Structure 1
């Protein structure tokens, strides 16, 4: 037996073990082969093996599953491409659930964070210890971030605008930033999505590109604030100065033109010099401009010459607009959209039509989306893509009718302003007077409360649980490991561990939701029709109908081949 054969056996063994733990031996044989079949993208030929009997799904089902986060009992799905595109304008009028305190208050929180951090640094210079106060401040930021993560899950789960939500996730992954960059990024990244991506994904691409490129989260993530022109006033005074090519390279390679499309290292170098001067204004919480760091002179990027302007950002805006209008950018992003939403084998004729719409509308994205949705393959061949972890977990929450309170719980309570943590910064000179204890630190406050017995501990909100599962499955929210973002390839996410964890998540979810309001209270025979509609195959309906009990039937629906694919 070869290595690949042994791996296949081990993989099936792990899945078989997970099924046995959840469903028992009897029901295992009914669905095991169907689940394994749904897993392997390399072997996948479609959910329907006979091309002559592939059903033409209703547009509402396809809209929900392929272009949204799945069916949610009680929601009305769009019936055609025009209705889906109309969602963009409607969704733009809604305020996202994150940042929890709102965009303006979050901007204030970022400014407060830097002000507090400066105070801590000043006090350290004066001889005060900074360890505990830093821990308290970092914990405050971490708590805000975790609440925002739950809100991000709730937003995708509860929004009636599924296509808009999926587009937000697509563009967030395209213009990658990460909350793992540093502490302040945990405040900046949710703000980035809320104010740079969501309001502009239904407008012109050039506007979207400029907004994300000049947002503090992107400037911090790609180290642009450290970029200094070697011949600038600041650069001439420093031995270690120099332009940072990260920003320029990612703008060309990932955000616009695409890999291997004819630009050179010289183009990257020239663009990096042109972009010097752009910094992060921590007080305004916006892109800043420092003329002393800006490289003087002329810059040749992709055959066009740009002369350094005294007006801040003028050069950056000009080159970003030119990149947005480049046909290579149009083709690169059109292919990515098609591969993300429809199939990884991209139809060139559909991409050509999207590029034509891009040119005609001067990069007006709804026109590009509409042409994609009107392509021949947009509403056929169901199940071409394996759901990524975030997609899958959110679709399970929608299916069981999870509410905002289920998902967020106490995380829905807004935070106040960030202030200097109250901790003992110097040794206590009178320990007896204060019962031998220092001033209570914020992160220790709960220790003074009566202890809860293990069986009295409240259940963690579903959002926290879901975030942990999504992270363990390899797609932590707002935390990609590099500038390329998370892979969109189905085979990247195929593993026995992936399926085993999905099964365990579904068991936990149905156990928690059964008996509450929502889809999870339904009879399995009704549930499968509610959450899969005409997407459900006869085999799946039969297996669910034969389930030994209600919970098993609900779980079988949520781990079925159809539910794992879109």
Structure 2
């Protein structure tokens, strides 16, 4: 007969190995959540940004005929590829080496929930950083904190084309024009929090998109550009944001905190978790209890 901790390691983790002892009690399974936090090899946005700044500078010199700069730029490109490969191996090793793999399974669950797609080496590295800096540190903490970290991460901003979203009445738009992009706002509501069937309107999506307009990744100036932000207030699901001064990240944190705490979000996440860990046809009673 399989004991409960062993069953938990199979159902909630990556299975059992004859080379490792099975977890001895439920506490060891739960402790794997803390063990899945960031490690010394985590890849940061700061390090990626510094690498890309060097690469841009070297390519500019190479274009002017500097052969040494061309070789150095090639070296940075090769280093990026090695970092991506090492990160992939690191994730696999962490899953295989965990006696109770619940924490690593949660990493995979939330990484899928806040999906981004790669492209060039910078975006692929940023995708690794989203897991290392937005997912792993918040596994055992607040969903609102994880959601804020994920939604404002450069990998998410680039993936959902938030770079080009400009408030119609912002300082930037008055001088140079620009349009509103609703991708991030729609995914925040439909996929990351309330779910597609929740009680929201297109007006909520547009108002949220306006509230998010200041978000923009810049390697030198961070992730918020007040010149592109739509002057408030905006009303999302009946609550007003951005009417206490210039637009800021505080307004975005406030709306994410409220979205994370809504009962529709709890039900949406609970169903996804039960489908992931238990059954493609989730028992409604279990979903309700988890919510």
Among 265, 271, 291, the alignment partner of 2:202 is: 265
Among 148, 151, 162, the alignment partner of 2:90 is: 151
* Residue 315 (structure 1) aligns with: 251
| Alpha-carbon distance, 1:187 to partner | 1.8
Q: Does the 8 Å contact 1:257/1:328 carry over to 2?
A: yes
1:323/1:122 Cα in 2 relative to 1: closer, same or farther (>3 Å)? Answer: farther
| Alpha-carbon distance, 1:321 to partner | 0.3
Instruction: Give the distance between the partners of 2:153 and 2:138, measured in 1 at CA.
Output: 13
Among 102, 110, 115, the alignment partner of 2:54 is: 115
CA deviation vs aligned residue, 1:416-443 (integer Å, no higher than 9, x gap): xxxxxxxxxxxxxxxxxxxxxxxxxxxx
CA deviation vs aligned residue, 1:37-68 (integer Å, no higher than 9, x gap): xxxxxxxxxxxxxxxxxxx7422332222111
Q: Does the 8 Å contact 2:231/2:247 carry over to 1?
A: no
CA deviation vs aligned residue, 1:375-411 (integer Å, no higher than 9, x gap): xxxxxxxxxxxxxxxxxxxxxxxxxxxxxxxxxxxxx
The answer to whether the aligner puts 1:288 opposite 2:215 as a matched pair is no
The answer to whether the aligner puts 1:246 opposite 2:193 as a matched pair is no
Among 230, 237, 247, the alignment partner of 1:302 is: 237
* Residue 79 (structure 2) aligns with: 140
> Residue 66 of structure 1 aligns to a residue in which SS?
helix
Q: Does the 8 Å contact 2:210/2:230 carry over to 1?
A: yes
Among 254, 274, 280, the alignment partner of 1:338 is: 274
> Residue 265 of structure 2 aligns to a residue in which SS?
helix
What is the correspondence of 1:342-421 to structure 2 with a 5 Å cutoff?
342-355=278-291
Q: Does the 8 Å contact 1:63/1:79 carry over to 2?
A: no
TM-score (norm 1): 0.48
| Alpha-carbon distance, 1:303 to partner | 1.5
TM-score (norm 2): 0.89
What is the correspondence of 1:472-483 to structure 2 with a 5 Å cutoff?
none
The answer for unaligned runs of 5 or more in structure 1 is: 1-55, 356-566
Q: Does the 8 Å contact 1:168/1:197 carry over to 2?
A: yes
* Residue 77 (structure 1) aligns with: 22
Instruction: Give the distance between the partners of 1:297 and 1:170, measured in 2 at CA.
Output: 35
> Residue 255 of structure 1 aligns to a residue in which SS?
coil
| Aligned residue pair count | 289
The answer to whether the aligner puts 1:60 opposite 2:32 as a matched pair is no
> Residue 287 of structure 2 aligns to a residue in which SS?
helix
Instruction: Give the distance between the partners of 2:53 and 2:129, measured in 1 at CA.
Output: 16
CA deviation vs aligned residue, 1:71-104 (integer Å, no higher than 9, x gap): 1224233355444223323444x726xx4xx446
Among 84, 87, 94, the alignment partner of 2:32 is: 87
Larger Rg: 1
Choose between structure 1 and 2 for higher RCO, CA contacts under 8 A separated by at least 6 residues.
1
1:149/1:159 Cα in 2 relative to 1: closer, same or farther (>3 Å)? Answer: same
Q: Does the 8 Å contact 1:244/1:272 carry over to 2?
A: yes
* Residue 225 (structure 1) aligns with: 163
CA deviation vs aligned residue, 1:238-276 (integer Å, no higher than 9, x gap): 24x112111111111111011121212211111010001
CA deviation vs aligned residue, 1:113-132 (integer Å, no higher than 9, x gap): 223214423653x4779988
